[in-house]
Amino acid sequence: MKKIFIAAALLFAGISTAFAGNDRPITLDKLPAAAQTFLKSHFAELTLAYAVEDPKFIGSEYEVIYTDRTEVEFDSDGAWTSVGSRYAAVPADIVPEQIKSYVAQTFPNQQVRKIERKRYSWEVELSNGLEIEFDKQFNVTDIDD
């Protein structure tokens, strides 16, 4: 039994290693349709630096980087998971109204520079470096500087 467990662990480690760091450059037309539409509607004026596909055990994840250091990440279905900009606010219409309202009231004069959409939470980073995490009902669960 112990040998089977060790063999299974080695097989899993081998598979994980085979997929790790396996990013490959792609063109924007190779992205899922939803990702292409999102980029065209929010970042059409930016110049593409590069895009990569990161194959996973099931599906792929995608990352698009623009020359102004804006980064957009997508899941295998083409839904955005993270949008970040080094020098400007993320597009206001992708930030949920509850988060916009909280930031405007609690941290006036700050911009949302990064937003991550996770399975059970949202996380934003403000222009002053403050990170705020919200649950799915948009209650603040953590603030970190």
The domain defined by 89-145 folds into Inhibitor of vertebrate lysozyme, Ivy (3.40.1420)
Does 53 score more than 70 pLDDT?
Answer: yes
> Tens of pLDDT along 112-123?
999 999 999 999
Q: Express each pLDDT in 77-101 by its tens digit.
A: 999 999 999 999 999 999 999 999 9
| DSSP state, residue 127 | T
Global pTM reads 0.82
Matching fold, domains 22-87 and 89-145: yes
The DSSP bridge partners found for residue 65 are 50, 71
Q: Among 92, 88, 33, 96, which Cα is nearest to 66's?
A: 88
CATH for 22-87 (3.50.50.60, 2.30.30.100, 3.40.1420.30, 3.40.50.2000): 3.40.1420.30
- Residue ranges of domains in the chain: 22-87, 89-145
